[in-house]
Structure 1
Amino acid sequence: MISIRLKNLSIRIKLLLAQGLVTVSALMVLLAIVLGYGYTSFRNDLYKDLDTQATIIERSSSAAILFGDKNTTNEILSTLKLMSSINRAYIFHEGALLANYEKEGIAKPHRQLDGKVILQALKHQRSSFNTHMLIKDIVFDGRVIGTLFIEANLDKLNTRLSLLILAVAIAAMMGLILSLLVSIKINKFLTQPILSLTSLVGKVSNTHDYSVRSHLLTQDEIGSLAKGINSMLISIEQRDEQLETELAKQKETEKALDRLAYFDTITQLPNRHFFNQQLPKKIAEAARFNKICCLMFIDLDDFKVVNDTYGHRIGDQLLAEVGQRLKNKLKSGDEVFRIGGDEFAILISDNNQFSHARELATKVIHDCAEKFIINNNDLYIGISIGISGSTQPTIQAADLLRSADNAMYRAKNEGKNNFKFFSKEIDDESHFRHYLENALRGALSRNEFEVFYQPIVNLRTEQIVGFEALLRWHEPIYGDISPAVFIPCAERIGVILPIGEWVLREACLQQKQLRDEFGFDFIMNVNLSGRQLREFDVVHKILDIVSETGINPSSLNIELTESVLMDNSQSTINKFHALRAAGVSISIDDFGTGYSSLSYLKRFPINTIKIDRSFIMDIAHDSEDQAITLAIIALANTLKLTVVAEGVETQEQKRILRLNNCEKAQGYLFSKPLPSTALRDTIESFLQPLYDQTA
């Protein structure tokens, strides 16, 4: 317990206690030495005086003792009365008490006792704190003639000793007081720097201010400790500065990462991750205020054309501009997100009539239709918007997003650059599209596809010179599904690659079979999708199939739409040149319906132009269609390109085309697309007039 209390005392108190203990111990030792020395000195003086007195008595009383003279002997002893320290004295001779002296008040021995008995009793007495016994033989001429006994009191010795003790005690007390005063000064001198350092450390501990410093400049251990503490504070301050710098950098990094996690780097709009978090909150918030959470799903029309034509850098700038235009049209509480690619989403709170959504959709469509000027390029783009709302109290975020996506898909199918609200009809269409996507994934392995062939006829000879391979899908549930429906779906989900390869192989095999049977190289036209063309090894795959099936490369004609040719990158051009170098022909399908058609004729190694059926349909009645058609024919003839008219259904259409030097045509006037089993009879029916003329 005491040790614990001592540990808890301050260093100043501990030093005072230690110094006091040392001082007291030193004084006690000094007092003991002084008292011991004084006592010994005083006692030795007394003993010496007694010995001297005994010697004097011995010499003075020798003769009297020899003669047994009691009176003389007593007179000699009586001189001891002058010495206050002598209590009594006795001289014994031959066993008898010869003389005696007793101080007043001192007990006398029984005189009737024999001297020997008395002497023997006296010899057994011991000196005490108050008395000292001296027994000395009286010798004369070398012979013991008697015995002297002296008893002296030590009162004088004790008095002197008491005075000495008092003096030493007073001196010790004064020394102790002086030592205490000096110790206090010394302690203050010694502990003040330590207390200063302690105060400094306490201040740093409480305030965490590491800029304070100790100003102790002594060269002793405390000065070294102060320097060490200052060095430690400097190190801590530098470390804290580094930590603050690192923490600031870390916070900036966290902010940047947080922004990367929740914001799109191109448009600076919230991204899909943030959108996925906000959508459920917006639905719940709208429900609390009896509103509808309205989702506008926005997709840019033909953005890929811009990306492929001008490059991704321009495309990214266009996305940023579109995002800014969308943001500028929002009201307070509305939010816009870029959720991926060329897709945006807007979340708004609306009423049951969707009045705000209608107004906002109209504004953003009109605003985004305005010209964009990016790097001195004039760009135009449309947007398709699908709108859905949380009209059902139990609707989930995923359902709302899917509904808006389906509505946007309908808006694109109905001409783009418009908006559609989600409806049951769109929902049914979405389920059908979803069914088609799943069914398409296994249609090839289930042998549900079949290639039909539509004859291409030379208008001068009216003989079949080739065929266009057309894919048909016999779906078990829905029956025959139009290529206009399932081809875009196949491209979207990626199964167009194996399907397109299968169609090419089937068409080449059919061409070889017809050549072997009729001895004529019919041209086989096969459509190639943009997705196939983007494959890096598409040329090798085409030529491998040509080699595998054994057809003449010049009998294969690859048909491409103008939208595919919009990717006029050097890589695409190189692929076309590689095909042409191998002997494969290339034609533009649906010519005149795309953009910048004339530039394709210059940049790409094209053999054939196919005039779209939309121009042929009214060629006999519509002067504009006829003018366009005739212009295309004239252009093809000038450039020495083969021209094929699609969708010929009447004799009048055929007459106009032949009259204006259109070389070839296809359409229901000659034959509808036929399965491979009907080709032989069809070809023979066209050859029959020749057989008849020959006959």
Structure 2
Amino acid sequence: MTSKEALLSPTKPRHSLVRKLTRQNLTVLLGSMLVSFLLIAVMLWLTARERQGSAAELAAIQLAGNVSAMLVFNDPDAAERDLELLAKNRDLSGVALYNANGELFADLADVPTLPWQQLPASAEPVRRYQGLEIVLTVPVVVRDKTEGVLYVQENLHQLMNWFLRGLFIMSALMIAIYWFAARLLITIQRKALSPLVQLSALAEKVASERNFSLRASVVDNDEIGSLTQRFNELLKRAEIWQAELSNKLQQQAARGDELEQLANNDSLTQLPNRHNFGQLLNQMVLNSISDNTMSALMFIDLDNFKFVNDNYGHDAGDAVLIEVSARIQAAIRADDTLCRLGGDEFALLLPKQVTPQLAERVCNRLLQQINQPIWVKNAKMPVSLSIGVALCPQHSTDSATLLQLADEAMYQAKRAGKNAYQIYRAD
């Protein structure tokens, strides 16, 4: 199959990246537009209300100047005519004029008024906003003397109606803008992510068919293009690896036993390796629990092994490992299993008829065996053993925990001076 044939139409996975990114981007766009809409609406309302409040205050101040003479000459009828004129020009819900003694001087019969006690005393005009109303209290001053107070209460209902109509128009405009922006965003995003979707489809095909000969085309010299190049390189390496592995498996098909040996045994000492040890340890723990018998795990570390490697060479170290494994095997029972975990670490499994006393005797035998001189290249190797012992089920019935406890006990033996053993005990 050619690389062109590998460029399949993008599949639709259960969770589409394109749809997910589109939803996220549209959500961000919608959220931004809503926040902008709310901010504009709030600013528009506050500005419009402030302008109407300023206009109402200016009209009230002018009216206060007009009615000042009427207060001085005690002409309430003329004052009421001026109040009526203001009420015709503005949408009032309350207007009243009080004299200096706090007595009602003039008002309009069809609008409510407030008692004198509820009017704030101030030498300057006072403007307050109460819901959809503007409340104005303007002192009437004649020759620096306050002759009375003008109270005006103006509705904002007409302003609110204008504001709501404006919001409706703005909402319709923003919906249209959002729709066009969303269409444009979806189109651009799909085009931008198309190479990534094609790459995903190719990866799905490679995974399902295990055909590493497929390749993806590099559309643009961007991050996705770089990713495509690296993916093609990975496919090439996988193809080479697959061919080499297939060839190797064909060559070794007749050597199944040898492969099993390599998989489960250490190549130097021919002992069970760490992988095999894990299975043997799990089985020993299961048998110990089911048979209600005690078993033991010994974690063995070869002391001074690094010194041997550094001073006598790695071939001498290999010879020491072979000799140590042979001596340990000679000192244990037929049912016991010695494993090499790697480096200078060994593990000994005692699956049957174990007691703490037996474990101690085995440890002493092992120490005695290794304390016998080991000669390599006409030199005595300065090695010994540090052994940690954990018992099942006494110390733990979990394989990983048992190994950890044996390891801790081994380090206790090392801290005690090496060439020693230690049955696990909690510090």
Q: TM-score, normalised by structure 1?
A: 0.33
Question: Is residue 63–residue 82 contact of structure 2 (8 Å, CA) maintained in 1?
Answer: yes
Mapped contact 2:91–2:154 kept (Cα < 8 A): yes
Uncovered stretches (5+) of structure 2, i.e. residues with no partner: 1-12, 122-126, 259-427
User: Which amino acid in structure 2 is aligned with residue 146 of structure 1?
Assistant: G
Which of 11, 16, 19 in structure 2 is aligned with 1:10?
Answer: 16
- Among residues 141, 144, 160, which one is paired with 1:139 in the alignment? 141
Hey, what does 2:176 align to over in structure 1? 174
Instruction: Indicate which of 242, 245, 249 corresponds to 1:243.
Output: 245
1:98 maps to 2:105: yes
Match of 1:21 among 10, 21, 27: 27
Q: Is the 8 A contact 1:133 1:151 kept in 2?
A: yes
Q: Within 5 A, what are the aligned runs for 1:653-692? A: none
Matched residue SS, 2:219: coil
Q: Distance in 2 between matches of 1:85 and 1:169?
A: 28
- Deviation per CA, 1:272-313, whole angstroms, max 9, x where unpaired? xxxxxxxxxxxxxxxxxxxxxxxxxxxxxxxxxxxxxxxxxx
Verify: 1:32 aligned to 2:38, yes or no.
yes
Map 1:267-282 → 2, pairs under 5 A: none
Instruction: Find the residue that maps to 1:226 and give its secondary structure.
Output: helix
Match of 2:359 in 1: none
Among candidates 222, 225, 250, match of residue 223 of structure 1: 225
Cα drift, residue 87 of structure 1:
2.2
Matched to 2:118, the amino acid is: A
Give how far 1:134 is off. 0.8
- The 5-angstrom pairing of residues 419-498 of structure 1 reads none
For 1:135-534, list aligned pairs within 5 A: 135-251=137-253
The runs of 5 or more residues in structure 1 that have no matched partner are: 1-6, 110-116, 258-695
Counterpart selection for 1:76 from 79, 82, 86: 82
Q: Is the 8 A contact 1:137 1:146 kept in 2?
A: yes
Alpha-carbon distance between aligned partners in 2 of 1:67 and 1:47, rounded to the nearest angstrom: 30
Aligned residues: 239
Distance in structure 1 (CA, Å) of the matches to 2:98 and 2:168: 42
Q: Report the counterpart of residue 47 of structure 2 in structure 1.
A: 41
Instruction: Find the aligned partners of 1:8 and 1:39 in 2 and give their Cα distance.
Output: 47
Q: Once the 2 structures are TM-superposed, how far is the Cα of residue 121 of structure 1 from its aligned partner?
A: 3.2
- 1:121 aligned residue: 118
SS at structure 2 position matched to 1:209: coil
Q: Secondary structure at the match of 1:150?
A: strand
Which one of 61, 83, 89 corresponds to residue 95 of structure 2? 89
Letter of the structure 1 residue corresponding to residue 21 of structure 2: L
C-alpha distance 8-147 of structure 1, shift in aligned 2 (>3 A): farther
Q: CA deviation at 1:58?
A: 1.7
Provide the C-alpha distance between the structure 2 equivalents of 1:217 and 1:185, rounded to a whole number of angstroms: 17
Q: What CA distance in whole angstroms lies between the structure 2 residues aligned with 1:123 and 1:55? A: 16
Equivalent residue of 1:80, what SS?
A: helix
TM-score, scaled relative to structure 2: 0.52
Distance 2:16 2:138 in 1: 65
Q: 1:576 maps to which residue?
A: none
Q: Give % identity.
A: 20
Match of 2:419 in 1: none
Residue aligning to 2:61: 55
Residue identity matched to 1:98: F
Residue 195 of structure 2 contacts residue 219 of structure 2 at CA under 8 Å; is this kept in 1? no
Give the whole-Å Cα distance in 1 for the aligned partners of 2:161 and 2:76.
35
Pairwise CA RMSD: 2.6
- The alpha carbon displacement at 1:74 in A equals 1.3
Q: Find the aligned partners of 1:139 and 1:23 in 2 and give their Cα distance.
A: 56
Amino acid at match of 1:121: Q
Report the AA paired with residue 41 of structure 1: T
Give the drift of 1:153.
0.4
Displacement, 1:128? Answer: 3.0
- CA apart distance, 1:84: 4.0
CA contact (8 A) 1:70 1:99 kept: yes
Deviation per CA, 1:443-496: give whole Å up to 9, x if none.
xxxxxxxxxxxxxxxxxxxxxxxxxxxxxxxxxxxxxxxxxxxxxxxxxxxxxx
Paired with 1:229 and 1:99, the residues of 2 have a C-alpha distance of 90
1:564-608 deviation line (CA, Å, top 9, x unaligned): xxxxxxxxxxxxxxxxxxxxxxxxxxxxxxxxxxxxxxxxxxxxx
In 2, the alpha carbon distance for the partners of 1:119 and 1:20 equals 58
SS of 2:96's equivalent? strand
- CA separation in 2, counterparts of 1:207 and 1:165? 58
Measured in 2, the distance between the counterparts of 1:122 and 1:145 equals: 15
Q: Secondary structure at the match of 1:216?
A: coil
Change (3 A) 1:147 1:8: farther
Amino acid across the alignment from 1:170:
A
Cα separation, 1, equivalents of 2:175 and 2:81: 50
Taking the aligned partners of 1:126 and 1:137, their CA distance within structure 2 comes to 15
Equivalent residue letter for 2:179: I
| Mapped partners of 1:122, 1:171: distance in 2 | 45
TM-superposed deviation, 1:122: 5.0
CA shift, 1:246, in A, is 2.6
Q: C-alpha deviations, 1:47-94, integer Å up to 9, x for none?
A: 111111012112211211112211221121111133242223111112
**How far off its partner does 1:8 sit?**
6.3
- Which AA in structure 2 matches 1:176? Y
Shift of 1:12: 1.8
How far off is 1:126 after superposition? 7.0
The answer to whether the 8 A contact 1:57-1:76 is kept is: yes
> 2:264 maps to what in 1?
none
Shift of 1:173: 1.3
Whether contact under 8 Å (1:38, 1:164) holds in the other structure is no
Of 69, 73, 98, which aligns to 1:67?
73
Mean Cα deviation higher: 144-153 or 61-70? 61-70
